[in-house]
């Protein structure tokens, strides 16, 4: 594509024009000029939007795609379309399909299916075979096929020796190990945060202790083994404190938080609406404020949509029986912008790129254009018409959001929202 982006505030700390309004010229998908009032060329499209900002492309570190096996929930092609229209140029796809992504052939399937699209798909291979938590999967083979990390989505590894061996083994090829922060023996059949709200509603509780114990355990193991650990979707104040302490020790650990846990609390459960049944569960306002403090001070490295499309038969049930999960990509930018500044939001949405792929996305002359286009201005109420996913299980219906995504430029393509 040939295009000239005009009057855009550039947000990239590595660029000399950071925070300034510039024009960008893109020729055959490559950034060729950055400056003010660039002279138009005949063969280029002008991209101009109101109060436009441009940043390196956003990377969503936790996305569930139904295919293969659950195409009724979401297909790979539509998932990539949703991501692009939500401002993301890359997504890391969880290993929760059927069959589970636990070998090089299944990783290659995802990569091949997504080839040629504007949005880059990066598979997360299962850490254990069939995500059963018993035996390690073929980690090295999956990495060679294109897997960027290894974790069992929303399945805790109960055996500490498995995490120990995984961290030791993955060091041989600089692999990133994910460990879901939950001790299953402490939650039994819990469906909501353990506390006054769950008690008053008669719901079985998921104690925050179940998260703290698992996080503390994994950090102790990491300190012993070395290696690279990522803890996805933390939800409690104590988890923030534990990870902050681990980073102060110099441990190679990162963590993420799901946008729904930043935006809502357990108070949303009073109507037994299963759209708010997520894992980890919505916690207290004290936890939410600690998470917000964590994304502001850098303890929490990245924000994810934790996008999990589920068909109506899995959500339109009694609260105890409904499946955990919400779709959130379409609302992530607008929700995050209500909590932090534009620059901090960009940092939180781009940090996963380097952690998961070892390549830092930059806006730089001579480099392929990998850009997210957006504005911080204006507010909207999220309604059904904003849902782009095949499934409709979103917790954000009725939420007041800030700003707007205009689209992305990636892989020599422009996708407009």
Q: Catalytic residue positions?
A: 306
CA distance 254 to 354: 11
CB 52 within 8 A of CB 7: yes
Over the range 385-399, which residues count as b (16 or more CB within 10 Å of their CB) and which as e?
ebbbbbbebbbbbeb
- Rounded CA separation 227/137 (Å): 18
Q: Indicate the helix (H) or strand (E) that contains 141.
A: helix 139-145
CA-to-CA dists, residue 14 to 19, 56, 87, 171, 187, angstroms: 11, 10, 20, 29, 44
Burial, 235: exposed, middle or buried (Cβ in 10 Å; 0-12, 13-18, 19+)? Answer: buried
Q: Is the preceding omega at residue 68 within 30 degrees of 0, hence cis?
A: yes
Question: Tokens standing for 159?
Answer: 């055996």
Alpha-carbon dihedral angle through residues 155, 160, 162, 166, given to the nearest 10 degrees? 100
Residues shown for the chain: 417
Q: What is the 3-state secondary structure (H, E, C) of 82-102?
A: HHHHCCEEEEEECCCCCCCCC
First to last CA, the chain: 17
Widest CA span of the chain, in angstroms? Answer: 67
For every residue of 310-362, DSSP letters joined together read --HHHHSS-TTTSPP-BB-HHHHHHHHTTTS-HHHHHHHHHHHHHHHHS----
Encoding tokens for residue 239?
A: 């988890």
Give the C-alpha separation, 58 to 316, whole Å: 32
Q: Is there a contact between 151 and 121 (Cβ–Cβ < 8 Å)?
A: no
C-alpha torsion sign, points 78, 56, 253, 166: positive
CA dihedral for 247, 344, 340, 276, sign (positive or negative): negative
């Amino acid at each position: 594509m040939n295009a000239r982006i005009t009057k855009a505030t550039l947000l990239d700390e590595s660029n000399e024009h950071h925070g300034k309004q510039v024009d960008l010229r893109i020729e055959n998908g490559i950034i060729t000029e950055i400056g003010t009032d660039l002279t138009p060329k005949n063969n280029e499209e002008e991209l101009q939007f109101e109060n436009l900002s441009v940043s390196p492309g956003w990377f969503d570190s936790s996305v569930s795609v139904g295919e293969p096996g659950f195409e009724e929930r979401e297909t790979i092609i539509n998932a990539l379309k949703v991501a692009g229209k939500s401002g993301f140029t890359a997504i890391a796809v969880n290993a929760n399909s059927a069959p589970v992504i636990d070998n090089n052939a299944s990783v290659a399937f995802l990569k091949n299916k997504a080839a040629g699209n504007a949005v880059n798909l990066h598979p997360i291979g299962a850490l254990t075979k069939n995500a059963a938590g018993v035996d390690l999967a073929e980690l090295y083979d999956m990495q060679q096929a294109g897997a960027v990390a290894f974790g069992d989505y929303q399945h805790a590894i109960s055996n500490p020796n498995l995490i120990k061996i995984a961290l030791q083994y993955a060091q041989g090829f600089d692999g990133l190990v994910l460990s879901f922060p939950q001790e299953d023996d402490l939650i039994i059949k819990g469906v909501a945060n353990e506390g006054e709200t769950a008690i008053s509603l008669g719901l079985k509780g998921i104690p925050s202790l179940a998260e703290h114990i698992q996080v503390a355990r994994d950090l102790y193991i990491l300190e012993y083994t070395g290696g690279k650990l990522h803890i996805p979707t933390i939800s409690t104040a104590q988890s923030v404190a534990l990870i902050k302490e681990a980073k102060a020790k110099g441990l190679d650990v990162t963590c993420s938080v799901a946008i729904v846990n930043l935006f809502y609390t357990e108070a949303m459960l009073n109507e037994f609406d299963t759209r708010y049944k997520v894992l980890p569960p919505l916690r207290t306002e004290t936890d939410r404020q600690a998470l917000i403090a964590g994304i502001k001070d850098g303890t929490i490295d990245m924000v994810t949509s934790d996008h999990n499309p589920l068909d109506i038969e899995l959500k339109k049930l009694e609260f105890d029986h409904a499946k955990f999960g919400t779709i959130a990509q379409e609302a992530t930018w607008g929700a995050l912008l209500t909590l932090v500044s534009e620059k901090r939001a960009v940092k939180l949405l781009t940090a996963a790129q380097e952690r998961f792929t070892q390549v830092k996305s930059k806006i730089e002359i001579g480099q392929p254009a990998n850009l997210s286009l957006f504005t911080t201005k204006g507010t909207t109420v999220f309604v059904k018409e904003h849902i782009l996913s095949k499934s409709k299980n979103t917790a954000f219906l009725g939420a007041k959001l800030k700003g707007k995504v205009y689209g992305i430029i990636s892989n020599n393509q422009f996708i407009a929202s």
